[in-house]
Amino acid sequence: MKKRYITGFDGLRTLAVVGVILYHIMPFKFQGGFLGVPIFLVLSGYLITDHLVLEYEQTGTIDLKNFYIKRVKRLYPGLITMLMATTAYITLFQRQLLVNIRGVIVTNLLYVYNWFEIAHGESYFDKFGNQSPFTHLWTLAIEGQFYLFWPLIMLALLVFVRKKQPIFDILFIGSFVSALLMAVMFHPNQDPSRVYYGTDTRLFSIFLGASLAIIWPSGRLRQRLDGRLRLMLDGIGIVSLLLMLWMFMTTSGQSDLVYRGGMYFFSLLATLLIATVAHPGADLNRLLSNPVFTWVGRRSYGIYIYQYPVLIFYESAVKNIAAHPWLHAIIEIIIICLISEFSYRCIEKKLSKFDYSQTWQVLRDSFRKNSPFKWRQVGIVTATAVTVIALFGIINQPDASAVQKDNQLQQVIQKNEQATAKRKKGKKLTAKEKQEQKAAQKGLTAAQKKRAQTLQVTAVGDSVMADGMETLQNIFPQMYVDAKVGRQVAEIVPILQALKNQGKLADTVLIGEGTNGPFTQQTLDQIMTITKGHKVYWINVHVPTKNWQNQVNSDLEAAAKKYHNLTIIDWYSKSNNHPDWFYSDNVHPNSNGLKYYGDVVARAILKKK
């Protein structure tokens, strides 16, 4: 029984990888694009299980050695090339990203990188700061773990359980248990990266695909269906596809519903769609088969592994992406496609069929006198140079504390935190600190200074506020500040709620959020419900290196029209034409910019007092 190639699956791979890329490029437009990953996982579960069951039925066993060799030859060349090329780039141009690089490389090669990210508290949703170009490889880690253990598990099930119905029951129940674990371990209004990365909390997608393969084997489906059955099957597939596209556009990665059944529901839809596409009697396979989908689908592995490094490096090099977000998005996509085409043709296809026992002979033939393999020589020399540079970076991995010490912004934030702790303990200010307090209040009237001395303010925010914390407290000595690097808007909801429950939420609330990404209307409504009856001031964002800057600011303007107790402090307009006010990231105010930052905030708050 020969396994047929299902062309429509390339269409599903296209849907998955395009969704992920659009989510990374424009999260405010395609906020549910991260759901492309469950499509990959369900599809892997189906294809691998279908292959293993077919092999067992034909031969009475599963050739584990052959399975593992094929997977290694298929996956490792592209992965190793990407790891070495990316490491070489950051060694040359962004050395601060070399922190933990040894652990990153080793855990990726062992396919346990998702657990490395969990152990190091790395957030999938922190889209600012020193983003790792390897963040997205957590998916490959889960796939790798699946490839390692699944043949053994399936062999055991086929030998000892035998009947397909109980095997299906075991797998389907397993999917439900995994989804339940995700729901239980998820904590609202906290970063969901633990359940997002975890193998245990993501297995449900793979289990659903695997369970489908048990009852819907691709090689045993009828070639033809009568009109009614074909119409019903196509209808199920089309409805599933439309619902999935709708969720791509509307589902937030930090919504409670996603982790409490939403992602499981999406995986069920993907399973139904795969079932429809896999059936030779349905029409949907033909609808998802075209040259474009075939091109993208066959290169989806390379597109996926290279998309994140390209986005990280491009956005660090281009300082004003927010001015033309669509133009830069198109350029980024073109670069990703070019690199993935090279990877597919020159690395993935060639090395997946390469006889590694001939390596030495190939090298000798390539470099012998008058060798016709000139391009091969160029490739080998280039690969060697890239590897040497990458190894240099790996060997000379910088210490995290040393990188922070060299970072001016980190030093300022640490100094601010120490000063805030000192204030909380009621310690007297030094002469220098008193001088800084006077300087911060420069430009205010005597009456404003007097009001600022006694005004109770609760301030919550991200790294920009952490940067300006001391400046703000020099103006408002009674200000309580809770600011954290990498904080998302949704994370301030429980903070504000806790302060309100304790009776510590001041009448005047200052919010500095949005640097790390857009927010949902639901999150905004939660914040404004908690702060009802309080005067709320929200500092808009100056983050030209990210394409969500304008979206965040326009959403804040719309919110101010809806909520009359909300005032937007227009830091963006004040600072937009002053690059000298910022550190090299063009986002966080430097010592010069902080004077203006504090002044803008103070004038806005004191204006209505």
> What pLDDT score was predicted for residue 416?
65
Taking every pair of Cα atoms in the chain, the longest distance, rounded to a whole number of angstroms, is 90
* pLDDT recorded at residue 125: 75
pLDDT of 297 higher than 90: yes
For the chain, the structural domain boundaries read 22-395, 408-607
pTM of full prediction above 0.85: yes
- Give CA angle at 424 (462, 126), nearest 5°: 15
In our burial notation (b when 16+ CB lie closer than 10 A, e otherwise), range 62-73 reads beeeebeeebee
> Hey, what CATH topology would domain 408-607 get?
Rossmann fold (3.40.50)
User: What is the rounded average pLDDT for all residues in the chain?
Assistant: 90
Distances (CA, A) of 166 to 45, 173, 216, 398, 413: 18, 10, 15, 53, 58
CA neighbor of 172 nearest in space, from 139, 214, 217: 214
Q: How far apart are CA 117 and CA 114, in angstroms?
A: 5
| CA distances in angstroms from 58 to 2, 51, 54, 147, 219, listed in the order given | 10, 11, 6, 21, 12
Residue type, 157: L
Question: d(Cα 382, Cα 198) in Å, to the nearest integer?
Answer: 36
Average of per-residue pLDDT across 300-311: 97
Average pLDDT over residues 458-487: 92
pLDDT of residue 359: 84
Q: What is the pLDDT of residue 433?
A: 56
Q: In this predicted model, which residue has the larger pLDDT, 221 or 116?
A: 116
84, 390 Cβ separation under 8 angstroms: yes
Q: Both tokens of residue 31?
A: 């906020």
Question: What token pair was written down for 13?
Answer: 């791979």
State the average pLDDT over residues 442-452. Answer: 84
Packing angle, helices 64-93 and 374-395, rounded to 10: 70
Angle, helix 591-607 to helix 431-440, in steps of 10 degrees:
60
Return the pLDDT at 224. 80
Task: Inform me whether the pLDDT recorded for 487 exceeds 70.
Answer: yes
Render pLDDT for 361-397 as a digit per residue (tens, 0 to 9). 888 887 887 777 778 888 889 999 999 999 999 999 9
Q: What is the pLDDT of residue 437?
A: 56
- Percentage of residues in the chain with pLDDT exceeding 70? 91
DSSP state of 428: P
